[in-house]
Amino acid sequence: MKDNYSLQHKTALLNPYGSIVKVLDGDPEKLLVGIKNVRSIPNTLMHRLEPAGFTLHTIDKKSQLAGRAVDTELINPISGRFMSGSSSGTAINVFAGINDLGIGNDGGGSVLAPAISVNILSFISRLIEADRPQQLKPNTDNITSANSIGFMARDKKILMKAIQAAIGIRPASGAGRVLADREYPGIDAQVIAIEDPAAPRTVLTAYLQVLLKRCDVFMITEGPIDLDGFGDSLFGHFDARTQRIQQAAGKGYVRVCNLAGATALSLPQSGLGMATLLMCESQSEKIARLLYLAEQIEEVHDELIERYFLDLNNYFIEGYEI
């Protein structure tokens, strides 16, 4: 049996965060996967992942009201604020160690933002199950676009394993031309002035599409996500005051990666809700360079957070029994 499986499964049944819709038995020898409770993630994806050592474990809660950007029914386990959406439950279940991998869908930040808000890794790409049928619908800014499927994980090796299984792309032998918003230690990149991350999505989407044609990978610091504000368009549309609160939520380029057709990968930084966000055009060669660059960036783990949340015995110290 896989190390920790019994505790992961027992914790899923306890459902301490209200983040799970259904618990499945799964294969105790494999890495446990949670999937957002949406129809747009096809069964064929799990069929690709299973031979690579993954097994379906939970169906995860999502934010309601057509994929809202915050989930007013779930709480971020670290900050105590409303959880970022809409793949909210999936991010919580990976963060808390209930699952090793999470699968969500991203129209305007719905995988990237919740993952960043709890300091775990994430990846989205239009190449994951690229041929699946989709029902296109306008978002809150009245932009109609297909969505991307994405992964979340605490461990970079697990994330890379899922990417390889899903789209068959491995890291390249170099990063190619990298553009960045600032200097990053150990990364050879050209630093450029960038469009304001708080710009309207239509402006930022067009800018990102042009920029990505100029480089192999574009990298920026994103966040803090939903820590100092409430990053939701439904809330922000009322007046200048609510718009300022929305913009203070730190959701910049995560809002437009999918809209621009980009592939994106986020790596946690040490600050809460902060990440290094890597973006590229959804082309195999550029994605391979993005993965190479991601491998060069050191993983950040917070010892105190892991001691509190990843010791699943902590959920049963009051004598709870199945």
The mean pLDDT value for 33-62 works out to 97
Structure tokens at 266: 């986020």
The mean pLDDT value for 137-166 works out to 86
Q: Would you mind telling me the total number of residues written for the chain in this entry?
A: 322
Residue 143: per-residue pLDDT: 65
Q: Which residues contact 77 (CB under 8 A, 6 or more apart)?
A: 17, 92, 95, 96, 118, 309
DSSP letter for 105, please: E
Domain regions of the chain by residue span: 5-316
98 vs 15, 32, 51, 189, 233, CA distance in Å? 9, 8, 21, 37, 30
- Asked if residues 230 and 251 have their Cβ atoms less than 8 Å apart, the reply is no
Residue 146: per-residue pLDDT: 87
- Asked if residues 2 and 158 have their Cβ atoms less than 8 Å apart, the reply is no
The predicted-structure confidence for 238-284, as pLDDT tens digits, reads as follows: 999 999 999 999 999 999 999 999 999 999 999 999 999 999 999 99
**Confidence label for 305 from pLDDT (cuts 50, 70 and 90):** very high
- Asked if residues 211 and 181 have their Cβ atoms less than 8 Å apart, the reply is no
Superfamily of domain 5-316: Amidase signature (AS) domain (3.90.1300.10)
Select from 254, 274, 270 the least CA-distant residue to 262: 254
Structure tokens at 162: 């899922």
Select from 63, 45, 227 the least CA-distant residue to 140: 63
Q: Which residues contact 263 (CB under 8 A, 6 or more apart)?
A: 123, 124, 125, 126, 127, 148, 257, 279, 280, 281, 282, 286, 287, 290
Q: How far apart are CA 56 and CA 25, in angstroms?
A: 8
Residue 319: per-residue pLDDT: 56
Q: Tell me if the pTM is above 0.85.
A: yes
Q: How far apart are CA 9 and CA 110, in angstroms?
A: 26
Residue 65: per-residue pLDDT: 75
The mean pLDDT value for 138-147 works out to 67
Q: How far is CA 154 from the centre of its chain?
A: 11
Average pLDDT of every residue of the chain: 94
